[in-house]
Amino acid sequence: MPVKTYIDAINDALDYEMERDPSVFLIGEDIGSFGGAFKATKGLYQKFGKDRVIDTPIAEAGIVGVAIGASFFGYRPVAEMQFSDFITNAFNQLVTIAATTAYRWNMSVPIVVRCPSGAGISGGPFHSRNPEVWFAHQPGLKVVCPGTPEDAKGLLISAIRDNSPVLYFEHKRLYRSLKSEVPDGEYTVPIGKAKVAREGDDLSIITYGGTLPLATEVAEEFSSKGKANIEVIDIRSLAPLDEEAILLSVRKTNRALILHEDNLTAGFGAELSALITEKAFEFLDAPVKRLASFDSPVPFAPSLEREVLPSKKMLRRTVEELLDY
């Protein structure tokens, strides 16, 4: 299998689905001849033309609104938010219209909204948000957060083929920092199915997206030093959520640490903590712990940004607290 970066895996998925299905088209800001702000759509305008790779004004509500309307006529649009932060401008279209259409009209809305998200690139408070939990809260929407190149391809193809509106959060820091083998051609990953990224029996780290590499790296450190054998669960999909995989892991290891980059208060880690407390309490040998970003807008200055985000040092300390409890 070829080795691809995270961003190239996204491009590969878009290319494959556009080639396979003429109803798939792309819509967003600067995605045409420019190839997108991060080059996720590089080469697709030249291959498929302006009618299937559509440049738009800076108008997120319009982009998503057009995508919803086109889906009513048999198309499968993939809309790009240049930065996930600006999805706030399309919030009404997504939670009021797209999420409820199946309930109101018994009509599918097969759209994907790609959301470059996350911090760690000194993007400041307007370009660093992780807003996935807003949409996981809304019935009718699906939310996926791939943390590896192979999942970036597999989940995107599955999202495009899904008949529900899917929010696809791709972490910007992973774009070119991750490389792995990615299958050519047909490759899907089921939405709603978690993955055991690393097996262990002393503690479960439950994570997704941009913090998956951090979790696996720290877990390997503890293993190499003979301190603990840590299991890492990559939930991959927030809505629907693979509760069974999470509970199975916690019931085995008896300790749970939830890690995500979104800020702590009312983040998705709170939902995971409630799930574990309600359904696996009698298996716990220690309180459920959460590690997330500080409750603050993400600073622009790199030194301040590092203080806000979860770090190796913070994760090591939290793991040790749980193991010593």
Choosing from 127, 137, 171, 260, the catalytic residue is: 127
Residue 120: which of 168, 58, 176 has the closest Cα?
A: 176
pLDDT, tens digit, 9 for 90 and up, residues 268-280: 999 999 999 999 9
pLDDT at 6 over 90: yes
Over pLDDT 90: what percentage of the chain? 100
**pTM, entire model:** 0.97
Residue 161: other Cβ atoms inside 10 A? 17
The torsion angle over the Cα atoms of residues 84, 88, 93 and 95, rounded to 10 degrees, is: 90
Whether 137 is a known active-site residue: answer: no
Domain check: are 168 and 235 in the same one? no
- For residue 100 the two structure tokens come to 């409820």
The b-or-e profile of 182-217 (16+ CB within 10 A means b, else e) is beeeebbbebbebbebbebebbbbbbbbbbbbbbbe
- Is the Cβ–Cβ distance between 112 and 142 less than 8 Å? no
Total domains, the chain:
2
Q: Measuring CA to CA, which residue among 4, 7, 9 is closest to residue 179?
A: 4
- Contact indicator for 320, 300 with CB cutoff of 8 Å: no
- 152, 181, 210 - which closes a domain: 181
Query: Is residue 187, in this structure, part of any structural domain at all?
Result: no
Domain membership flag for residue 186: no
**94 and 211 inside one domain:** no
Q: Are residues 175 and 203 in the same domain?
A: no
Do 267 and 129 share a structural domain? Answer: no
Do 237 and 142 contact (CB within 8 A), yes or no? yes
Q: Closest by alpha carbon to 66, among 29, 33, 27? A: 27
Examine the fold and report which residue of 181, 215, 249 is the final residue of a domain before the chain moves on.
181
Within-domain flag for 104: yes
Question: Mean pLDDT over all residues of the chain?
Answer: 97
- The SS3 call for residue 106 is coil
Polymer length of the chain: 325
Q: Do the domain assignments include residue 252?
A: yes
Residue 216 and residue 133 in one domain: no
Q: What pLDDT digit, counting tens, does each position of 68-92 carry?
A: 999 999 999 999 999 999 999 999 9
pLDDT digits (tens, 9 = 90+) for 126-178: 999 999 999 999 999 999 999 999 999 999 999 999 999 999 999 999 999 99
DSSP conformation class of 98 = I
Is the separation of the CB atoms in 26 and 14 below 8 Å?
A: yes
pLDDT at 186: 96
Are residues 199 and 246 both part of a single domain?
Answer: yes
Same domain (yes/no): 27, 173: yes
- The enclosing domain of 274 has a CATH number of 3.40.50.920
Task: Mark which of 130, 155, 181 sits at the end of a domain.
Answer: 181
Any domain includes 115: yes
Look up the domain containing 92 and give its range. 3-181
Contacts of residue 198, Cβ cutoff 8 Å, sequence gap at least 6: 216, 219, 220, 230, 231, 232
Same domain as 94, residue 152:
yes
pLDDT by residue (tens digit) across 278-312?
A: 999 999 999 999 999 999 999 999 999 999 999 99
What is the pLDDT at residue 229? 98
Q: Does 151 share its domain with 16?
A: yes
Q: Are residues 172 and 310 in the same domain?
A: no
Instruction: Report CA 18 to chain centroid distance, whole Å.
Output: 22
In this structure, the answer to whether residues 8 and 147 fall within a common structural domain is yes
Residues 9 and 91 in one domain: yes
Would residue 295 count as lying in a domain? Answer: yes
Is the pLDDT at 1 greater than 90? The verdict is no
Euclidean distance between CA atoms 162 and 7, whole angstroms: 21
- Residues 34-66: tens digit of each pLDDT: 999 999 999 999 999 999 999 999 999 999 999
- Please give the Cα distance from 140 to 96 (Å, whole number): 10
> 121: domain CATH number?
3.40.50.970
The stretches of the chain forming alpha helices (DSSP H) are 6-20, 44-48, 60-71, 91-92, 101-105, 132-136, 149-161, 212-224, 243-253, 268-280, 302-308, 312-324
218-229 confidence digits (pLDDT tens): 999 999 999 999
Average pLDDT rounded to a whole number, residues 104-125: 96
Answer yes or no: is 126 within a domain.
yes
Rounded distance between C-alpha atoms, residue 256 and residue 196, angstroms: 14
**Lookup result for tokens 């299937």:** 52
> Could you tell me if 285 and 257 are in contact, meaning their C-beta atoms sit under 8 angstroms apart?
no
Domain presence at residue 190? no
